[in-house]
């Protein structure tokens, strides 16, 4: 039995090892003998392949695995980390796990990547129980290789960013599924908007929720030029409309509730979309993913009333229209969606581009065209924003026609940025 103190001194990780104290005794007694399956050669090969890791990464993982299985301390540590990540899901110190470079040198990130891949059998079991197509299971597990890509950009070696580990807990829980290019989970809508639909023409208009402070351009960045209101009176809803281009308009509009119905509001169940790293955001891939997600979730969760796909991300920042990128995939995708303002702090999502926390313009990497373009935009003094989007499932057949923008303009709305 390896005590925590022995493990800390054996690996020479000092006080940093204290974050591993919770549940250590429980892990000691639950340790499978002689080895947890994810530390066998076969187990690792299966897990790494399903996670979408390439041959080079798998070979590094196998080398590290061989070192682990020769050392009782490392076997116990790997098993304990597996438990902290996937069994004790209220454990919150994943990001502080100690660096194991003393033991593994430049390949130290591989240790935690092996631990991350140990989710595969858990996801397989959960998906079997739910009746999920094995192709979706395989696609879902690929998030591990997307995270490994981020680590590669960050540290130029094999590993996984510790700050992203918590996210993996969604998969064994059977909450988050990758369908084509994107991932989705059912969530309660948290956007500060209400969406109305005309009962005959199916025109769609989003209104600001009440009490939101907007800047003079209709974005939410802590500056207050005006505050939104939303009133129901005499069978009408009166509020400020949001342009599908993503900003709130400082004017009031009235919708007659005998002709318009609310189709999306805070608290509604929605398909919350997430965008794994990997590029290749061609609009047709995004459309296919959204359509497949709609049928997957409707089939899997028939009791949940789902009207819309939503997302809040730097990827829906309408400033991307002003930034020259090597492909127009992101702006083309944005134009198909109904964008809306979300609260922005000035650094939202920059980690996903530069992998720095905090973002430092002086040292931010400039390796890709995306990094160079965004860095140049920020260097011009622009304040970075995040953005929200929704897309109503009923409108999937209109994808490719910039449906919301053309409807909004055709109705005579002011549609200028
Ligand atoms: C890459 C991405 C930003 C845009 O997709 P796209 O427009 O189809 O982009 P492409 O695949 O054509 O790649 C465009 C450039 O970005 C680079 N790139 C790809 N992923 C990158 C990343 N995560 N960080 C920095 N640069 C990246 C590519 O290398 C390429 O650069 P190059 O022109 O120098 O070769 C997006 O799809 C992505 O993968 N994002 C990462 C995940 C993310 O941010 N999710 C949202 C979290 S809130």
CA distance 59 to 215: 52
CA distance 289 to 68: 39
> Residue 414 — pLDDT band, cuts 50, 70, 90?
low
Q: Find the 279 Cα to ligand 1 centroid distance in Å.
A: 4
Q: Residues 86, 168, 348, 250: what is their CA dihedral angle, to the nearest 10 degrees?
A: -100
Q: Find the 345 Cα to ligand 1 centroid distance in Å.
A: 22
Cα end-to-end span (Å), the chain: 65
Cβ–Cβ < 8 Å for 107, 158: yes
Give the model's pLDDT for residue 412: 79
In the chain, what are the domain boundaries? Answer: 4-174, 175-344+385-417
Q: What is the pLDDT of residues 61-75, one digit of tens each?
A: 999 999 999 999 999
Q: What is the pLDDT of residues 139-181, one digit of tens each?
A: 999 999 999 999 999 999 999 999 999 999 999 999 999 999 9
Task: Tell me the whole-structure pTM to 2 decimals.
Answer: 0.95
Pocket test for ligand 1, best of 279, 314, 374 (most atoms within 8 A of CB): 279
- Per-residue pLDDT at 415 exceeds 60: no
Site residues for ligand 1, CB cut-off 6 Å? 275, 277-281, 313-315, 326-327, 329-330, 349, 352-353, 368-371
281 CB neighbour count, 10 Å cutoff: 17
Tally the residues of the chain.
417
Angstrom distances, CA of residue 310 to CA of 148, 203, 264, 345, 367: 26, 18, 10, 20, 31
User: How high is the mean pLDDT of the chain?
Assistant: 96
Cβ–Cβ < 8 Å for 289, 181: yes
CA distance 177 to 184: 6
CA distance 99 to 409: 55
Give the β-pairing of 236-239 and 338-341: unpaired
């Amino acid at each position: 039995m390896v005590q925590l103190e022995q493990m800390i001194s054996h690996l020479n990780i000092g006080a940093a090892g204290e974050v591993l104290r919770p549940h250590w005794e429980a892990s000691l007694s639950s340790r499978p003998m002689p080895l947890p399956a994810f530390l066998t050669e076969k187990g690792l090969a299966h897990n790494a392949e399903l996670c979408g890791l390439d041959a080079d990464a798998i070979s590094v993982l196998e080398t590290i695995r061989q070192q682990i299985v020769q050392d009782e301390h490392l076997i116990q540590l790997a098993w304990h980390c597996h438990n902290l990540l996937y069994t004790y899901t209220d454990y919150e110190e994943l990001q502080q796990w100690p660096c194991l470079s003393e033991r593994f040198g430049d390949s130290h990130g591989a240790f935690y990547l092996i631990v991350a891949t140990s989710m595969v059998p858990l996801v397989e079991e959960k998906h079997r129980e739910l009746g999920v197509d094995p192709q979706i299971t395989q696609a879902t597990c690929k998030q591990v290789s997307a995270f490994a890509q981020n680590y590669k950009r960050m540290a130029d070696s094999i590993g996984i960013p510790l700050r992203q580990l918590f996210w993996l807990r969604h998969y064994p829980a059977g909450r988050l599924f990758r369908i084509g290019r994107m991932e989705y989970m059912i969530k309660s809508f948290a956007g500060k908007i209400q969406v109305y639909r005309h009962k005959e023409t199916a025109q769609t208009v989003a209104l600001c929720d009440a009490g939101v402070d907007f800047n003079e351009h209709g974005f939410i960045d802590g500056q207050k030029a005006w505050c939104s209101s939303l009133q129901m009176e005499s069978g009408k809803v009166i509020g400020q409309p949001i342009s599908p281009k993503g900003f709130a308009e400082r004017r009031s509009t009235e919708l007659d509730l005998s002709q318009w119905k609310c189709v999306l509001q805070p608290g509604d169940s929605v398909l919350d979309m997430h965008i794994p790293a990997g590029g290749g955001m061609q609009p047709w891939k995004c459309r296919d993913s959204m359509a497949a997600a709609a049928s997957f979730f409707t089939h899997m969760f028939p009791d949940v009333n789902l009207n819309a796909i939503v997302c809040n991300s730097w990827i829906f920042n309408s400033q991307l229209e002003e930034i020259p990128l090597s492909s127009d995939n992101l702006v083309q995708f944005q134009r198909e969606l109904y964008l809306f303002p979300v609260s922005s702090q000035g650094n939202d999502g920059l980690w996903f581009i530069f992998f720095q926390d905090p973002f430092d313009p002086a040292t931010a990497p400039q390796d890709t065209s995306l990094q160079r373009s965004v860095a140049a935009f920020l260097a011009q003094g622009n304040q970075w924003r995040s953005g929200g989007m929704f897309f109503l499932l009923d409108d999937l057949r209109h994808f490719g026609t910039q449906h919301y923008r053309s409807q909004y303009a055709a109705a005579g709305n002011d549609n200028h940025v």
